[in-house]
A and B are shown apart, each in its own frame.
Chain A
Amino acid sequence: MKSIDWARNETLVFVVIVAFCGLAAISDPNFLSIPTLTDLMRNSIVLGIFAVGAMVVLVSGGIDVSFTAVAAFAMYATTVLLRDLAPDLPWPLAFAIATMIGAVLGSINGVLIAFCGLPTLIVTLGTLSVFRGSLLTFVGTLQISNLPPGMRDFSRWMMVRGTNSDGSFYSLPWAFAALVIIVAATWFILNRTMLGRAIYAIGGAPESARRIGINVRRTQFFIYVFVGALAGLAGIIHASMARISNPFDLVGLELSVIAAVVLGGARLTGGVGTLTGTLLGVALIVLVRNSLIVIGIPSTWQSVAIGVLIIVGTGLPAWQAKRAEARET
């Protein structure tokens, strides 16, 4: 009886994904193919890295809406820096710079949240405006389509490449490996280090965490720096893959990312959340964004579909919890 827990979000999301693919395969036999899979994987890279960061914050009991602005800032500032000062820098260094910029911006959130004790939603709402505003005021507003050669090299570097029977191409860039590495590293931190257990602990019950000797402030500070660094990396990968660095990109995605994470079972109240769930949530959101039309729903209904998914996905567990509570009292 315990073998499959149907009330878990991961199970629900997985069932919805399978059902979606089943329906899509019935209406379009070409749906279940390698190009669909590589499309799905390619579109999950940036969203997935964002989602891993957003999940860590949710697990710790906070919420971060500024990560898209961090990513846009790191992406564009790095491109400008490379273009003006060091056009021949190889891509690993460019990526390191973007990650550093992200970490520095994240540390601003970290100081305000961990050391000043301000509410996470308000702080990140404020820094979202500040990061985006200062990027567009001081760094620039024009998109750069002539990327530095290092970033262009990275975008051409494919993991899998192939031709379909009808002559069209498909490919999966090595950028996907970045997502895999980040997921593996985050899994290790969350499940195999004291730091990771501390993150779950402060999300579950901050006071208890403090009493068993966890340094809550230092843990929180680490979380926001980590999320900032991930956002910076996601930003530069986004620009490399799109082959354009547009300072207006990315901001606006934050609520979709949080939606994906929440669909995957992470709780806004903290302490609960898994990487498996997060990745399934991302896959579902990407499927809905790309392939809704395949199952016969016009793409103008896309946001309705995502909204319904969020409400059903969070509503079922919330309602079950509420009924369980009513039975106890």
Chain B
Amino acid sequence: MMGRILQSTEGRLAIITLVVFITMSILAPERFLSPANLTSMAFQFPEFAILALAVAVAMLTGGIDLSVVGAANLSAVVAALFMSQFAGTVANGGTGTGILLAAIALSLAVGLVTGLFNGILVATFGLPPILATLGTGLIYTGLAIAMTGGSAVMGLPPAVAWVGNGTLLDIPVPLVIFSALAIALGWVLKRTAFGLKTRMFGANPLAARYAAMDTGRVLLKVYALCGVLSAIAGLIVMSRANSAKADYGSSYLLLAVLIAVLGGVNPYGGYGRIVGVVLAVLSMQFLSSGLNLLQVTNFAREMIWGVLLIGVMLINLLTFRRKS
């Protein structure tokens, strides 16, 4: 039983997550397990966890999406500018729920467009994903800077706070959004033709094409999905900060890539499970919060993340070598 758990990447990751959780609970029992800490963790991780889901989906095809943070900020900035245009009408009464809904739709549309643009570059023009998304990431961030002049967009209607700070049946809304997305994505990747094609393309693009798969369409859909996921993450960041800015969450890009790889997604494509990504997110968050409670600086945390990433890769390598 134990052997079987240890053999799969996700099984090992589950054990790592558990070990981190237990260690932190022992090191700081009152504070780590306190309801306040658990709730604050549930509010914190969904924003970068959703970005990690986006990166993981792109990685499944053997590509990568480095534009997720740019796309998230661009769609948040567009939504925030839209809402601040109508802030005057909200000021006399109402909380601006209608405007919020319109802004959400708008930002998701922006996310979709950014994703489709990436998809066209990769699928139609054949750019290497890493370069295409590196370039578009700069473009999206740049557009957000050009729209705002580099400053934060503030003065959002009160309803916005609900997305990032509200609760639904006592569960933090960001956590609800993340769980729904993770479950839906897990189902799509495992049970639908699109999911199968995504993984097949990642495993062997040439074979996928010889199998008469419309590879361009699959890639286009994958990057469009990444764009929409980024926009959702952008909305949560906007709501939690109660403003939108071109350079929010710039450290999330590397973190998202790190989580996807830690979660067992093969950066060369073909293999990866959402369960793994979720476990990687949880272990990262437990580690972050725990270290934070133990008064470890942010910088040491960054270092520990890096050690964790390389450590997990080495463990995966050793078990792989033993198997073959």
Contact = CB atoms under 8 A, between A and B. Distances in A.
B146 A259 contact: no
A327 to B, nearest CB: 14
B309 A129 contact: yes
Interface stretch (B14-22, B40-48, B132-140, B153-161): B132-140
B117 to A, nearest CB: 10
Contacts of A126: 258, 306-307, 309-310, 313
A133 B313 contact: no
Nearest to B250: A252
B134 A303 contact: no
B131 A310 contact: yes
A307 B135 contact: yes
B141 A303 contact: yes
Given A122-B267, A300-B149, A315-B121, A129 B303 contact: yes
Contacts of A118: 310, 313-314, 317
B27 to A, nearest CB: 18
Contacts of B131: 262, 268, 310-311, 314
B138 A307 contact: yes
Contacts of A129: 254, 258, 302-303, 305-306, 309
B139 A318 contact: no
B142 interface: yes
Contact of A132 (B127, B258, B302): B302
B297 A303 contact: no
A126 B130 CA distance: 17
A319 B135 contact: no
Contacts of B299: 132-133, 135-137, 141
B-side interface size class = 35 or more
Interface in B291-324: 297, 299-307, 309-310, 313-314, 317
Contacts of B303: 129-130, 132-134, 137
A299 to B, nearest CB: 10
A133 B135 contact: no
A303 B142 CA distance: 5
Contacts, number: 144
A304 B142 contact: yes
Contacts of A117: 317
B130 A268 contact: yes
Interface residues of A, number: 48
A133 B302 CA distance: 5
B135 A311 contact: yes
B90 interface: no
A308 interface: yes
B126 A322 contact: yes
Interface string A292-309: 000000101111111111
Contacts of B313: 118-119, 122-123, 126
Given A136-B297, A268-B128, A308-B139, A121 B302 contact: no
B302 to A, nearest CB: 4
A311 B267 contact: no
A310 B261 contact: no
B139 A128 contact: no
Contacts of B267: 119, 121-122
B135 A112 contact: no
B198 to A, nearest CB: 20
Contact of A125 (B136, B140, B257, B300): B257
A269 interface: yes
Contact of B258 (A116, A125, A304): A125
Interface in A133-157: 133-137, 141
Given A303-B139, A303-B142, A306-B138, 4 more contacts: A116-B314, A131-B306, A310-B131, A318-B126
Q: Which 10 pairs of residues, A with B, have the shortest CB-CB distance? A: A133-B303, A129-B306, A307-B138, A304-B142, A303-B142, A136-B299, A310-B135, A307-B139, A130-B306, A322-B126
22 contacts: A117-B317, A122-B310, A126-B306, A126-B307, A129-B306, A131-B306, A132-B299, A133-B301, A137-B297, A137-B299, A255-B66, A258-B134, A300-B150, A301-B146, A303-B142, A304-B139, A307-B142, A308-B135, A310-B131, A310-B138, A314-B128, A315-B132
Interface of A: 63, 112, 116-119, 121-123, 125-137, 141, 255, 258-259, 262, 268-269, 298, 300-311, 314-315, 318-319, 321-322
